[in-house]
Amino acid sequence: MIFVTSLNDYDLLMSEDDVTNRMVDSINLFSQIVNSPWFIDKPVLLFLNKRDLFEEKVKRTKISSISHFRDAGPIDSYEAGVDYFTKKFMNVVGNGNGEDGGESKTMNGSGGNSGNNDGGMGDFFCKPTCATDSDNIEFVMQSVKEFVLYGNMEDADMF
Count of domains for the chain: 1
Question: d(Cα 70, Cα 64) in Å, to the nearest integer?
Answer: 4
Lowest mean pLDDT among 98-102, 109-113, 131-135: 109-113
Residue 117 — pLDDT band, cuts 50, 70, 90? very low
Q: Report the CATH number that the domain containing residue 57 is assigned in CATH.
A: 3.40.50.300
Neighbours of 71 (CB within 10 A): 9
Strands across the sheet with 44-49, in order? 2-6, 44-49, 124-128, 104-106
DSSP helix/strand/coil, 36: coil
Give the pLDDT of residue 136: 67
Residue 135 — pLDDT band, cuts 50, 70, 90? confident
Q: For the chain, what is the mean pLDDT? A: 80
Residue 63 — pLDDT band, cuts 50, 70, 90? very high
Q: Are the CB atoms for 123 and 43 separated by under 8 Å?
A: yes
What whole-number percentage of the chain has pLDDT above 70?
Answer: 78
Distances (CA, A) of 119 to 44, 84, 95, 97, 147: 13, 20, 6, 10, 21
Give the domain range for residue 50. Answer: 2-155
Which residue blocks in the chain are alpha helix, DSSP H? 22-34, 51-60, 78-90, 134-155
Question: d(Cα 102, Cα 154) in Å, to the nearest integer?
Answer: 17
Q: What are phi and psi of 106, to 5 degrees?
A: -105, 155
Give the pLDDT of residue 100: 42
Give the pLDDT of residue 42: 81
13-29 pLDDT, tens digit each: 999 998 999 999 999 99
Instruction: Report helix, strand and coil shares of the chain as percent, to nearest 5.
Output: 50, 15, 35
Model confidence, pTM? 0.75
Question: d(Cα 115, Cα 29) in Å, to the nearest integer?
Answer: 21
